[in-house]
Amino acid sequence: MRRALTRGVPETFSAALYGKSGRRPDVELARQQHAEYSAALGASGYDVTILPGDDHHPDCVFVEDGAVVIGEVAVATNPGAESRRGEVQPVAEALGNDFQMEWIVDPGTLDGGDVLVLGDTVYIGISNRTNQEGARQLGKVAREQGFRSIQVAVSDVLHLKSGVLAVNAETVVVTSGTVDERLFEGARVLYEHPDERHQFSCLILGQGRLLATASSPLTVESVAALGIDVDTIDISEILAVDGGLTCMSILYERP
């Protein structure tokens, strides 16, 4: 069965962290957009579990940052932002029903948004949130699960997946200047259209389908030209606080 873990938008979402190009989001609109997102996952055949939002953690909707599934294990993270550490436990408990759990521990820090799995490679971003020790701990788990791991320096954006996202098993879309795309050897590299910088985000839904941001039509056009079936969704309030489409869920498959 294909499962999706998501988490509701808390009342305090307008206090979510955001960087230099961000702004305070509208909570009601974010809730509508999150409901549409969860509905899109359900319509694609996922069994969706929505954990309740936690008003003490404005960023809790970004459930991807709390845990990473690699092979047969789920790794609970140690988020780089102190204010987000308390988000991890409920996510780990939910995944603990389906997976053996591992943990990233101090002095290692790691956010799930810094982890991109492509084929048998786990790319781990070194960012303001994920440090080398966190990447080392995750790399060890990845190797034990039969993957290789590669560290990627991330500039100008919050996470690795703010700068590079997979649109299928062999293609990535890169925001120029955020990562060294030569590290993705073997993958086809497309670029986010320069007029849509930091607007493109996507989530592979499986069965040849992709969910992508409505705010990046030119980039979506270049992805669709590869023969990928793309549905679009408006997530303006999520993008406002440096979120994207991968960050609102953890997708996995269990028998």
Smallest separation, CB 245 to ligand CIR (Å): 9
Stretch of 45-53, 58-66, 97-105, 133-141 lying at the interface with ligand CIR (CB under 6 A): 58-66
Identify the CA nearest to 67 among candidates 96, 37, 35, 108.
96
Using CB under 6 A, which residues numbered 114 to 173 contact ligand CIR?
158-159, 161
Q: Is residue 243 part of the contact set for ligand CIR (CB under 6 A)?
A: yes
Smallest separation, CB 14 to ligand CIR (Å): 11
Q: Is residue 65 part of the contact set for ligand CIR (CB under 6 A)?
A: yes
For the chain, give percent helix, strand, coil, nearest 5: 30, 30, 40
Q: Is residue 62 part of the contact set for ligand CIR (CB under 6 A)?
A: yes
Choose, by CB under 6 A, the member of 70, 244, 249, 251 that binds ligand CIR.
244
Smallest separation, CB 244 to ligand CIR (Å): 5
Choose, by CB under 6 A, the member of 9, 142, 247, 250 that binds ligand CIR.
247
Tokens of 196: 């849509």
What track of x and - describes contact with ligand CIR for positions 201 through 240 (by CB under 6 A)?
Answer: ----------------------------------------
Q: Is residue 54 part of the contact set for ligand CIR (CB under 6 A)?
A: no
Peptide bond into 107 cis (omega under 30): yes
Count of residues making up the chain: 255
Smallest separation, CB 8 to ligand CIR (Å): 15
Smallest separation, CB 18 to ligand CIR (Å): 6
Tokens of 31: 């809730």
Specify whether 159 is catalytic.
Answer: yes
Measure the CA angle with vertex 217, ends 230 and 212; round to 5°.
40
Q: Is residue 198 part of the contact set for ligand CIR (CB under 6 A)?
A: no
Specify whether 60 is catalytic.
Answer: no
Choose, by CB under 6 A, the member of 15, 17, 117, 183 that binds ligand CIR.
17
Write the DSSP assignment of 100-111 as a string of letters. Answer: EEEE--TT--B-
158 Cβ contact list (under 8 Å, min separation 6): 19, 113, 127, 128, 129, 242
Q: Is residue 241 part of the contact set for ligand CIR (CB under 6 A)?
A: yes
Using the CB atoms, write b or e for 163-202: b if 16+ within 10 Å: bbbbbbeebbbbbeebbebeebeebeebebbeebbbbbbb
Number of H helices, E strands in the chain: 6, 15
Q: Is residue 64 part of the contact set for ligand CIR (CB under 6 A)?
A: yes
| Distance separating the N- and C-terminal Cα atoms of the chain | 6
Identify the CA nearest to 152 among candidates 117, 197, 106, 108.
117
For the annotated catalytic residues, the residue numbers are: 159, 247
Query: Which spans of this chain sit near ligand CIR (rule: CB under 6 A)?
Result: 16-18, 59, 62, 64-65, 81, 84, 112-113, 158-159, 161, 241-244, 247
